[in-house]
Amino acid sequence: MAIDDIDVFWVLLCACLVWIMQAGFLCLETGLTRSKNNINVALKNICDNATSIFLFWLVGFSIAFGAPFTAPFAVSGNFYLFQSTDNHLNAFFVFQAVFCSTCCTIVSGAAAERLRFIMYPVLVTIIAGLIYPVAVNAGWGGLLIHNGEGFLVDLGFYDFAGSSIVHSTGGWVALALVIIVGPRIGRFGRDGQVRQIQGSNLTLSSLGVLILWFGWMGFNGGSAYNFSSDIGIILSNTLIAGSASLVITLLIISQRSGSPSAEDLFNGALGGLVGITASANCVSSLEAVLIGAGSALSALLASRLLLRFKIDDVVGAVPVHLAAGIWGTLAVGLFGDLEIIASDLSRLEQIQAQLMGILFIAVWAFGTSYLFISAINRVFPFRVPREDESVGLNISEHGASSELYELIAFMKYQSDTGNMSSDAPTDQFTETGIIGMAYNHVMDTLRIKEERLRESNTLLEAANEELRAYDHLVAHDLKNPLSVIHSYAAMIEADGENHQARQQYVARIRRSSEDALQIIRELLNFARASNEIDQAESIDLQELIYNTKIQLDALIAERKPQFDIQCSKRTLWFNSFALQQVLVNLVSNAIKYTPEDEQPQVTIRSRQEGDYDLVEVEDRGIGIPKEQLTKLFEKHSRLHSANTRRSGYGLGLYHVRKLIRAGGGEIDVHSEPEVGCCFTLRLKCAPPSQAQQDLPEAENG
């Protein structure tokens, strides 16, 4: 292979490395943006790459290396619609085309997450078709293709691989763009507070930095345009400057604020690579370290200034490519080997030439881009509507949904509608799908809790309604004896001289007081029974009947009822106190609803039928009319009869059935008017283990 062929191969190899940097930019930018925009950012990189190369082929290469200003219409010396059979020239075109693509990608990354996708090609057209080629013509024109030297070349300006011509040009356009379109929604508070917007995948961004670092070997190495002995120096300086810049960034941040952010470290490494690009072939390794350190400081300072002025640069394009690019260009005059630069200028004159180049690039790139972008923005806005930005450009610009978006949209639907009945989308093989599964598990638990709460609320409402009616009834029943007490007390006060009448009044007061106390006692007893109903125990029925008689001692002494006790099953399983209150109610009703001129007859029987113990309380009283049987156990049902002066308080039978059912049993009634009635309690038998313990006691009994 001839020497020339080796040079062509080297340039093409380096061009491929530079082109691979597009993958690095893609990874860096998608990782630093939010997941709702990452598809948009990735497609933007692909579109930028293709559009910029096409525009550079169409007119850019001709403006950069032809004679567009001296002979714009000449065929010879211009490269409109570039086409050549010269292998060297084609290799040179490829290398310059990927440089142009790099410059365009720098710009679009800065304004990511808020631009309309169709405006990216418009932006690339301005850069690749005008701004970048003019900058190249001024700084590199005539150096390789001898069509007349560029304006900056005549001044002695030197930019080996493009710290200013490529990177600062892109940085200035990026700055103009982000100023015009403004920051992302929520990036800055009204009080000027900076709000961190975390990238979706910093690991992917880290990979992007390494790919860019790798591609930079071709960026700087290929700028020699031959496989010469300087390649080793160029590549070593590139590595050293990038590494030194990252280390200096780490040291500065560690001293000032502790832990460095991922974005600062990314900017540190890339800033050093941008800084050394202008002088990779003409400085020593120590000077490369100094350039890397200056790049670190420049990038850090620029990033803080942007935040201070509320300028939102998503990927740090301005600090890395503009600030570090300016420093790297100036560093050529400070540290560059004047013999290698070969500009025939003194050190001071070289610095002046570098400053002129920096100034020209600033005025041309920033000024032109600001005018074009502002004018176009007035007619065709670059920025998406606020609603589209909020939902994410993946959806609004490309209709490309994602699992995370679907999950968030589902949650928002639930929040807006209050409909919690459906489940979130799930997938056991993705992180978002697993989150959806966990969310559904939480929602299932909440639905169960909500259902229980709804049931409890229904019960509470029913209990509250019952309590209101119950309060009214109790107040009515207490009113009668208390009114009697009040009336007879007034009569005693008015008729204090009549001793006989006073005794009658006192007797009636005592009786009314006993009625009031009886109502209160029943209330307290039923409340206690309700609280203890779940505490089942073994009960001796005969002993319970005995205690019931004691509790009804006054009524029994007054009416002298006859009891017939037939306990075939003596041992029962229920709460003792609750069952006693049930018997008290049933037995007292049996006595009270027997005509005054008859002796009450009360029969209590017990037996076992299958899994239930039956207890019957039967009387020979007035009975219950058929029309009242259907509502006998309703709330506050009251039984009245002309045949007796007694009447129920309305506390009993409803609560009796409530207690029996709460203990797992049931109650029913059979009655015939003027014959009597029989209440039957069906109680669950004792558990087998308890029944075995009770058997010897029953036998002994």
* Minimum mean pLDDT range among 275-279, 360-364, 394-398: 394-398
Please list, in sequence order, all residues whose beta carbon lies within 8 angstroms of the beta carbon of residue 413, skipping any fewer than 6 positions away.
419
Beta bridge partners of 537: 574
pLDDT exceeds 80 at position 465: no
Helix (H) or strand (E) holding 697: helix 688-700
* Minimum mean pLDDT range among 104-113, 511-520, 526-535: 511-520
Q: How far apart are the first and last CA of the chain?
A: 121
Report which of 105, 78, 91 is spatially closest to residue 224, judged by C-alpha positions.
91
Report which of 521, 629, 645 is spatially closest to residue 637, judged by C-alpha positions.
629
- pLDDT confidence of residue 69: 60
- pLDDT confidence of residue 644: 47
Q: How far is residue 167's CA from residue 220's CA, in Å, rounded to a whole number?
A: 13
- Whether 239 contacts 210, CB under 8 Å: no
For all residues of the chain together, what is the average pLDDT? 87
Report which of 271, 136, 279 is spatially closest to residue 220, judged by C-alpha positions.
279
Q: How far is residue 427's CA from residue 423's CA, in Å, rounded to a whole number?
A: 12
Are both 3-396 and 533-700 of the same fold?
Answer: no
Report which of 186, 203, 9, 188 is spatially closest to residue 95, judged by C-alpha positions.
9
Task: Using pLDDT thresholds of 50, 70 and 90, give the confidence band for residue 323.
Answer: very high
Angle in degrees, CA 684, 685, 687, rounded to 5: 115
Determine the distance from the C-alpha atom of residue 4 to the mean position of all C-alpha atoms in its chain, rounded to a whole number: 61
pLDDT exceeds 80 at position 505: no
- Taking residues 682-699, what's their average pLDDT? 69
At 610 the three-state DSSP class reads: coil
Tens of pLDDT, residues 625-644:
888 887 888 765 655 544 44
- Of residues 617 and 410, more confidently modeled: 617
Please list, in sequence order, all residues whose beta carbon lies within 8 angstroms of the beta carbon of residue 226, skipping any fewer than 6 positions away.
7, 10, 11
Please list, in sequence order, all residues whose beta carbon lies within 8 angstroms of the beta carbon of residue 201, skipping any fewer than 6 positions away.
30, 31, 35, 38
- Whether 70 contacts 143, CB under 8 Å: no
Please list, in sequence order, all residues whose beta carbon lies within 8 angstroms of the beta carbon of residue 220, skipping any fewer than 6 positions away.
160, 161, 234, 235, 237, 238, 276, 277, 280
Task: Using pLDDT thresholds of 50, 70 and 90, give the confidence band for residue 495.
Answer: low
- Whether 682 contacts 614, CB under 8 Å: yes
Q: How far is residue 320's CA from residue 372's CA, in Å, rounded to a whole number?
A: 24
- Residue in the block written with tokens 């009625």: 515
- pLDDT confidence of residue 466: 65
Task: Using pLDDT thresholds of 50, 70 and 90, give the confidence band for residue 700.
Answer: very low
Domain segments of the chain as ranges:
3-396, 411-457, 533-700
- pLDDT confidence of residue 698: 46
- Taking residues 61-70, what's their average pLDDT? 78
**CATH 3.20.20.210 given to domain 3-396:** no
pLDDT exceeds 50 at position 650: no
Tens of pLDDT, residues 162-209:
999 999 999 999 999 999 999 999 999 988 799 999 999 999 999 999
Beta bridge partners of 566: 605
Whole-model pTM: value is 0.67
- pLDDT confidence of residue 470: 60
- Whether 351 contacts 331, CB under 8 Å: no
Options 3.40.50.1970, 3.40.50.300, 3.30.565.10, 3.30.1180.10; which CATH number does 533-700 get? 3.30.565.10
- pLDDT confidence of residue 642: 45
Half-sphere exposure at residue 86, Cβ-oriented, CA atoms within 13 angstroms: 9
Tens of pLDDT, residues 339-364:
999 999 999 999 999 999 999 999 99
- Whether 353 contacts 343, CB under 8 Å: yes
Q: How far is residue 523's CA from residue 517's CA, in Å, rounded to a whole number?
A: 10
- pLDDT confidence of residue 289: 98
Pairing type for strands 537-540 and 571-574 reads antiparallel
Task: Using pLDDT thresholds of 50, 70 and 90, give the confidence band for residue 699.
Answer: very low
Q: 685: which DSSP letter?
A: P
At 551 the three-state DSSP class reads: helix
For residue 510, give both structure tokens.
């005592």
- pLDDT confidence of residue 432: 77
- Taking residues 573-579, what's their average pLDDT? 91
Task: Using pLDDT thresholds of 50, 70 and 90, give the confidence band for residue 434.
Answer: confident
Tens of pLDDT, residues 208-259:
999 999 999 999 999 999 998 789 999 999 999 999 999 999 999 988 877 8
Tens of pLDDT, residues 131-175:
999 999 999 987 766 666 788 999 999 999 999 999 999 999 999
pLDDT exceeds 70 at position 557: yes
